[in-house]
Structure 1
Amino acid sequence: MGAVTTFDPVAEHARTRVALEAAIGRLVALTGGIGDLEVPSGVPAWSVGDVGAHLAAVYLAFGSALPGERSGEAAGGIDWAAVPDGRDGTFGGRIAAVNALSVGLVAGAERRRLGPILAERGAAFLRDSAGLAPDTPVPTPWYGPGRTVPLTAATGLMLSETLVHGLDMARGARRPWALTSEEASLVIGQAMTTMMPLALDAEKARGVRIAFDLALRGGPQLAVVVEDGAATVTRDPAPRPYDCRITAAPTAFLLVSFGRMPLWRAIALGRMRAGGRRPWLATRLSELITAP
Structure 2
Amino acid sequence: MTKTTCPDVLTQARTALRDIVPGLVALVRRIPDAHSGSVGTWTVGDVAAHLSHVFRFDTDAIAGRPVPEAVVTSEGMAEVNAKALTEDGERAPAALADRISALAKEFDDVASRPRPGSADWLQGVRLPPSAVACHLLVECLIHGHDIAGAIGHPWSIPRHHALLAVEGGVLPLISALPPTAFVDQEAGPFRARIALHLRGGGSTVMVFDRGSLALDPAGAGDVDAHISADPAALMLVFIGRRGIGAPLLGGKLAAWGLRPWKLARMLTVIKAP
| TM bin (shorter chain) | 0.7 to 0.9
Residue 149 (structure 2) aligns with: 171
Q: What TM-score does the superposition give when structure 1 sets the normalisation length?
A: 0.81
Note closer, same or farther for the CA distance 1:129–1:205 as it changes in structure 2 (3 Å cut). farther
CA contact (8 A) 1:13 1:152 kept: yes
Which amino acid is 1:56 matched to?
Answer: S
CA shift at 1:38, angstroms? 2.1
Describe how 1:1-292 pairs up with structure 2 within 5 A: 11-41=8-38, 43-68=39-64, 74-75=66-67, 80=69, 91-108=73-90, 112-132=94-114, 136-141=117-122, 144=123, 146-196=124-174, 197=179, 198-202=181-185, 204=187, 206=189, 208-235=190-217, 237=218, 240-292=221-273
| Cα offset, 1:34, TM superposition | 2.5
Deviations 1:85-122 (A, max 9, x none): 6xxxx821101111212323442476541111001111
Residues 112, 177 of structure 1: alpha-carbon distance in 2 compared, 3 angstrom cutoff: same
**Whole-angstrom CA distance in 1 between matches of 2:91 and 2:36:** 16
Change (3 A) 1:152 1:289: farther
The separation in 2 between residues aligned to 1:177 and 1:23, in whole angstroms, is 10
Deviates further, 8-17 or 221-230: 8-17
Q: Is the 8 A contact 1:194 1:233 kept in 2?
A: no
1:149: Cα distance to partner?
2.7
Q: How far did residue 203 of structure 1 move?
A: 5.5
Q: Between Structure 1 and Structure 2, how many residues are aligned?
A: 264
Q: CA deviation at 1:179?
A: 0.8
Listed one character per residue, the Cα deviations across residues 178-217 of structure 1 (whole Å, up to 9, x for unaligned) are 21111111111011113334312356475x4311110111
Between the aligned partners of 1:244 and 1:238, the Cα distance in structure 2 is: 12
Closer/same/farther in 2, CA of residues 136 and 286 from structure 1, 3 Å limit: farther
C-alpha deviation, 1:28, in angstroms: 0.8
Cα RMSD (Å) of the superposition?
Answer: 2.5
3-state secondary structure, aligned to 1:246: strand
| Alignment partners' CA distance in 2, 1:110 and 1:272 | 38
Query: Is the CA contact (8 Å cut-off) linking 2:195 and 2:205 kept in structure 1?
Result: yes
Letter in 1 for 2:37: P
Amino acid at match of 2:28: T
Percent sequence identity over matched residues?
28
Structure 2 portions without partners, runs of 5+ = none
Superposed CA deviations along residues 50-97 of structure 1, whole A, max 9, x for unmatched, are 1000001111111112244x6xxx44xx5x2xx6x6xxxx82110111
TM-score by length of 2: 0.86
